[in-house]
Amino acid sequence: MLAVHLPVFQVLLPLLAAPVSMLLPGSRVSWVFSTLVSWGCFALSVLLLQQVLQEGSISYAIGGWAAPWGIEYRVDTINAFVLLIVSGISSLVLTGAQASIEREVAKNRIDLLYTCWLLALAGLLGIAITGDAFNVFVFLEISALSSYALIALGSGRRALTASFRYLVVGTIGATFIVIGIGLIYMATGTLNMADMGARLPAVAESRTVIAAFAFLIVGIALKMALFPLHFWLPDAYSYAPSPVAAFLAGTATKVAVYLLLRFSFTIFGGDFAFGAMALERVLMPLALLGIFIASLVAIFQMDVKRLLAYSSIAQIGYMVLGISLVSVTGLTAGILHLFNHALIKSALFMVMACVFYRMGATRLDDFAGLGRRMPWTMAAFVAGGLSLIGIPLTVGFVSKWYLVVAVLERGWWPLAVFILFTSLLAVVYVWRVVEVAYLRPAAEGAGRCEAPLSILLPTWVLIMANFYFGIDSSLTVGVASRAAAALLGIGL
Amino acid sequence: MASLGLYNYWLVIALMMIGFYIVITSPNLVKKIIGLNIFQASVFVLYITMGKIIGGSAPILSDQIAVYSNPLPHVLILTAIVVGVATTAVGLSLVVRIYAAYGTMEEDEIEKIEAQEEVPT
């Protein structure tokens, strides 16, 4: 009986838990509570994914109002996968967040952080699960407003300006998206995604629809920090509290990539978005430029969190590159990388939480001698770094492999060379940190100062996940290729 | 003259551009929030306009009424207005904290302070 209502609980659980966590006495209690809620969400998303893989997509009518009039929650392979990523990353990061948050956030604001975290989680899950276009906007703003607050909780005043800049850009992005949705509504008279998808081909020629498409793509590109609309991201990630950065880096931009897939394939349809509008001709050069420039800029960063943030922009480029190939393999690579990069970056930002916990900063100079002083932490960084580069046996390799195969399918071997070359850039920026940590001696009298086990353990779970899914990629590749085929309208 | 009859949409475009321009060019953070508000207001007008039919009535079932305005966009935009208010609240509270931390809310001055903070390497 309850199983029927799984989709709505996926969003309701964190949404209702958020105010409760604020009322709980003491930050420790609210941490335990929010972590349990997050794991609950994860369990729900595992159940949903199982159900989708066995029985096909689920449609849930909120309040019993049938689609297309009522709001529909629609779970198919791709968004069940995204739900799993978002709730999984949130749970793991939150499990290890407590010590680090106590250190980085002012005492009287810690309760609020967990509340905002749950709200952000509810928003991100909502974006992924809903089948209603206007609902996307509402959840987008729920997640965005709470992530502005989360970022502003970072230590130091630069977190405030970073948050403000993100607020301005994020609001413009969301407003563009709402303009786009409004224009589609004008043309089709519906807000249900599937219904929109069915009605749009008939009016695809109209200027309203073309304008809607442009607004939506630019709005989503702002949200996912696609080069050259990435400028808000480095500040936001480097000044936010480290666990928040780990959470947002693994989820927020990924959900935006999902929106790009959803809008361009399910709503506008591949024929319109990539045929008539030739979206790939815009996306591909931007993806390539983004990969190259952001990787290059990452090499010259003096702060490691910032370095990772720039690397995130480059990784978004790989995802978009996969999508812009518009083939099953290309989309599979894009969706795979969405999952894999979430694992990689959350793990690496958790390492930053460990380093920040002990050193109080993550400047490159602070890493001197850390190889000896924090051996487990730095070993995690090396392992995560290898995955970021794409060494075999890691998830990074799996997604790059599919990307190269997809490129070669098209016969564009220079692009394959480009992907290998930019991986070398990743080697350079990861190596810079490793070099300082292992080869530069620590300051005099600095002893061993390993991070507490409570942060280290979840970090290592994330790192091990990098290897587990790198060695046994059957689950991720299976789900990603099914999702890709479904998006392209090719039945499996 | 058809395009003049759609003057509401021209108003939307004008408001949108004014708001957007303020957000981009004004160095004052409060003015940026105001710009953002104007920008969002233009979208409210867009939604309200698209649902309105001249001579259309509110959605009340009656034999005398044949033409109805579409109430759905009007309701949708209520949500968007609430979101806009929330965004403004968060934005302004950030400005308050930025002013307390930096002693200014001019973006160029903040950037100057931030540039000085960065340790030359």
Q: Decide if B90 contacts A167 (C-beta within 8 A).
A: yes
E-assigned strand segments in A62-218: 72-75
- Enter the tokens of residue A385: 């770094």
- State how far the Cα of A380 lies from the Cα of A479, in Å rounded to an integer: 27
Summarize the confidence of residues A221-241 as an average pLDDT: 90
pLDDT exceeds 50 at position A232: yes
**Cα A301-A304-A307 angle, rounded to 5 deg:** 50
CA–CA separation, A197 and A271 (whole Å): 11
Are residues A466 and A393 in contact, defined by beta-carbon separation less than 8 angstroms? no
* Cβ contacts of B72 on chain A, cutoff 8 Å: 191
> Which pLDDT belongs to residue B42?
94
Partner A contacted by B44 (CB < 8 A): no
Exposure b/e, A24-62, CB count within 10 A at least 16 = b? beebeebbebbbebbbbbbebbeebbebbeeeebbebbb
Quote the distance between the C-alpha of residue A165 and its chain's center: 19
Residue ranges per structural domain of chain B: 2-117
Residue A157 has its nearest CB partner, among B73, B79, B102, at B102
Residues A378, A379, A383: CA angle, nearest 5 degrees: 115
Question: What is the average pLDDT value for chain A, to the nearest integer?
Answer: 89
CB A85 within 8 A of CB A338: yes
Instruction: Name the token pair of A313.
Output: 């922009």
By CA distance, what is A148's nearest residue in B? Answer: B90
Q: Indicate which of B40, B78, B83 best probes the interface with A, i.e. most A CBs within 10 Å of its own CB.
A: B83
Q: Which residues of B touch A436 (CB under 8 A)?
A: none
B50/A contact by beta carbon, under 8 A: yes
Are A182 and B90 inside 8 Å of each other by CB?
A: no
Chain A residues in contact with chain B using a Cβ-Cβ cutoff of 8 Å: 134, 137-138, 141, 145, 148-149, 152, 157-158, 160-161, 163-164, 167-168, 171-172, 174-175, 178-179, 182, 185-186, 191, 302
In whole angstroms, what is the distance from residue B90 CA to residue B105 CA? 15
B73 vs A182: CB contact, 8 Å cut-off?
yes
Closest CA to B23 of B38, B35, B39: B35
Burial A390-409 (b: 16+ CB within 10 A, else e): bbeebbbbbbbbbbbebbee
Closest partner residue to A167 among B94, B101, B114, by Cβ? B94
Quote the minimal CA–CA distance from A186 to chain B in Å: 7
CB pair distance less than 8 Å for B50 and A164: no
Residue pair A71/A135 in contact by the 8 Å Cβ criterion? yes
Nearest by CB to A145, from B90, B95, B114: name it: B90
Note whether B43 contacts A182, CB cutoff 8 Å. Answer: yes
Of A25, A288, A254, the residue nearest A127 (C-alpha): A254
**Residue among A296, A153, A338 at smallest CA distance from A236:** A153
Residues A98-149: pLDDT tens digits? 888 888 888 888 888 999 999 999 999 999 999 899 999 999 999 999 999 9
B23 to chain A: which residues are within 8 Å by CB? 168, 172
Give the largest Cα separation in chain B, rounded.
Answer: 79
CB contact under 8 A, B32 and A302: no
In one-letter notation, the amino acid at residue A91 is S
Question: Count of CB contacts below 8 A, A vs B?
Answer: 72
Q: Which residues, listed in sequence order, are joined to residue A37 by a DSSP beta bridge?
A: none
pLDDT at B1 over 60: no
Q: pLDDT for B52-89, tens place per residue?
A: 888 888 888 888 888 888 888 888 999 999 999 999 99
Residue of A nearest to B98 (CA): A160
The position carrying tokens 């996968």 is A81
**pLDDT confidence of residue A492:** 46
Whether residue A92 is predicted with pLDDT greater than 90 in this model: the reply is: yes
Q: Do A152 and B29 touch (CB under 8 A)?
A: no
In this prediction, residues A351-379 reach a mean pLDDT of 88
Does residue B109 belong to the interface with chain A, where contact is any CB pair within 8 Å?
no
Q: Backbone dihedral region of A26: left (phi > 0), alpha (psi from -120 to 50 degrees) or beta? A: left
Question: Residues A275-293: what's their mean pLDDT?
Answer: 89
Torsion of CA A32, A38, A43, A47, to 10 degrees: 160
Q: What is the pLDDT of residue A22?
A: 86
**Under 8 Å between Cβ of B20 and B75:** no
Integer Cα distance of A415 and A141 in angstroms: 37
Integer angstrom CA distances of residue B63 from A236, B58, B60, B67: 57, 13, 10, 11
- CB-CB neighbors (< 8 A) of A175 in chain B: 39-40, 43
Backbone angles phi, psi at A74, to 5 degrees: -125, 120
Q: What are phi and psi of A416, to 5 degrees?
A: -65, -40
What is the average pLDDT across A187-207? 88
DSSP A223-262: HTT-TTS-TTHHHHHHHS-HHHHHHHHHHHHHHHHHHHHI
Q: Work out the minimum CA distance from A54 to partner chain B, whole angstroms.
A: 36
Is the Cβ pair A171, B80 closer than 8 Å? no
Segment A115-126, tens digit of pLDDT: 999 999 999 999
Burial class (CB in 10 A: 0-12, 13-18, 19+), A474: exposed
Distance between CA atoms of residues A353 and A140, nearest Å = 27
With an 8 Å Cβ cutoff, are B90 and A178 in contact?
A: no
Taking a C-beta distance cutoff of 8 angstroms, is the pair B54, B80 a contact? no
A-chain CB neighbours of B102 within 8 Å are 157, 161
What percent of chain B has pLDDT above 70? Answer: 93
Domain B2-117, CATH among 3.30.930.10, 1.10.287.3510, 2.40.110.10, 3.40.50.300: 1.10.287.3510
Out of B40, B90, B114, whose CB is closest to A148?
B90
Q: Is B40 on the interface with A (CB under 8 A)?
A: yes
User: Which of A434, A425, A335, A452 is closest to A385 using CA atoms?
Assistant: A434
pLDDT at residue number A491: 52
Query: Is A131 strand, coil or helix?
Result: coil
Kindly determine whether residue B50 and residue A182, on different chains, have CB atoms separated by under 8 Å. yes
pLDDT of residue B121: 43
B39 lies within 8 A of chain A by CB? yes
Give contacts of B30 with chain A, Cβ < 8 Å: none
A89's CB contacts (< 8 A; 6+ apart) are A246, A247, A250, A251, A342, A343, A346
- Classified as helix, coil or strand, A490 is coil
ipTM above 0.90, yes or no: yes
Tokens representing residue B95 in the block: 């400005």
Token pair, residue A248, equals 């947002």
| Cα Rg of chain A (Å, integer) | 21
Best A161, A166, A181 residue to mutate vs chain B (most B CBs within 10 Å): A161
Closest CA of chain A from B117, distance in Å: 10
pLDDT tens digit string along A43-76?
999 999 999 888 888 888 888 888 788 888 988 8
Mutation for A interface: B33, B76, B88, B96, most A CBs within 10 A = B76
- CA nearest A152: which of A125, A95, A112? A112
Burial class (CB in 10 A: 0-12, 13-18, 19+), A172: buried
